[in-house]
Amino acid sequence: MSTLAIHGGEPIRTKPFPEWPRPTSELKDAIISTLENEGWGVGSEAISRFDEKFAAFQDAKYCISTSSGTTALWVMLKAAGVKAGDEVIVPPYTFIATASAVLMANAVPVFVDIDENTFNLNPNLIEDAITEKTKAIMPVHIAGNPADMDAIVAIGNKHGIPILEDAAQAHGAEWKGKKVGALGLGGIFSFQTSKNMSAGEGGAIVSNDEAFYETCFSYHNCGRTKGGAFYEHSFLGGNFRLNAMATSMLMPQIYTVVNDMALRDKNRKTLDDAIGQIEGLTINSAYEGTTREANHIYLTRYNSEAFHGIPREQFFKAMQAEGVYTYMGYTPLYREKLFVTDYEEYPWLKGYDYGSIHMPVTERLADTEAVWLKQNHLLGEEQDIQDIIDAFEKVTTALKTSPELFKD
């Protein structure tokens, strides 16, 4: 066994993984064309053209592009009828915006634990969290891996509660052959820098429900209504529109993301086949209804018991020294300082004690088991993927055969 880089040996890899976001000639041409020939904001054909094409890409009738995934979440919640004091069921293992958008709508995030095999909202725990105040259930397709939409939609239908999808990481992901986003009442996507389609910032809402779509339009466009006068405002909306330059950047990616997804699929399978053979590492699973993942994050689970009790953080340090940046990812949202609640600022949260929440699966995965690789690692060539495999094998072999090297 070669000496680990963390102990002075040669690292597996010294060059960076593929660049992301990736500037292309198609993106540059699209921006210049809009800059020179089209409007830059309200009324630009570049915006309506993207909305139409992205809706079709996600198997939806309607799309509204927004300034960010976070604003898309707020708009979607308001359009679904979420009001002050209402409760919205969300997972605690996700980006903060899933929950903070609920707070921004003056509503209450109600956390439900996740499934350890998929990192997604556990549908078996949802009904116990439903109360008369529950106005929406918002699953997150974490890492681009679809939540169990059959089970979740069935619960929503049973209780008359709309299902709103946080598909921020799930561009192109499929459930039973249909793209996610419009499987419930509506869903959102993000185009922030790290996402599989990126404009630096940006978001979108998709839906098959016309009334919901029109209400989203109003909330994202200063309260204006479809067909109404420009200075007529029916809702307390904001300016959450996406500009034409951003939609121009995104248009070519509707096509290039198809090839990117095929490459991620191929490289994901290669990694799964190799890493799945390493005792102590468990690759992430998908539900039976999942026909395609977006592979925004490559997730595995680390079992310290298989490595002489050596904590995950030692594994991370060794992997990073080998040139493959693995890391822990999210922490439970209810531990964020945001939820050390100031009732003067958030009076509708009075009576909710987030500090007393204990969700064993989320905490175990976040604190000791979750291992993340960013999506750009899956965009490399054969040797890039082999380097990742070699680093995993080199480090895990050392953890098992030479645990004394990892003592503090």
267/195 same-domain check:
no
CB burial of residue 271 (10 Å; 0-12, 13-18, 19+)? buried
158/203 same-domain check:
yes
Note the pLDDT of residue 405: 87
307/321 same-domain check:
yes
Give the number of domains in the chain: 2
Provide the whole-model pTM: 0.97
Task: Write down which residue in 195, 222, 253 finishes a domain.
Answer: 253
87/197 same-domain check:
yes
226/275 same-domain check:
no
Note the pLDDT of residue 223: 87
- Residues contacting 35, CB < 8 A, separation 6+: 245
Note the pLDDT of residue 99: 97
CB burial of residue 12 (10 Å; 0-12, 13-18, 19+)? buried
Look up the domain containing 188 and give its range: 25-253
261/195 same-domain check:
no
69-79 vs 210-220: helix axis angle to the nearest 10? Answer: 120
10/127 same-domain check:
no
Render pLDDT for 305-332 as a digit per residue (tens, 0 to 9): 999 999 999 999 999 999 999 999 999 9
The rounded distance, in Å, linking the Cα atoms of 129 and 88 is: 10
Q: Supply the CATH number for residue 336's domain.
A: 3.90.1150.10
Q: Using alpha carbons, list the distances in angstroms from residue 379 to 15, 240, 370.
A: 14, 32, 21
> Roughly how many angstroms between the first and final C-alpha of the chain, as a whole number?
21
Q: From the CB of residue 281, how many other CB atoms can be counted at a distance below 10 Å?
A: 19
286/272 same-domain check:
yes
Note the pLDDT of residue 257: 97
Interstrand relation of 134-137 and 108-111 (parallel, antiparallel or unpaired): unpaired
Q: What angle do CA 137, 138, 140 make, to 5 degrees?
A: 145
39/10 same-domain check:
no
Residue 20 lies in a domain: no
Residues of the chain with pLDDT under 50: none
Note the pLDDT of residue 408: 65
246/279 same-domain check:
no
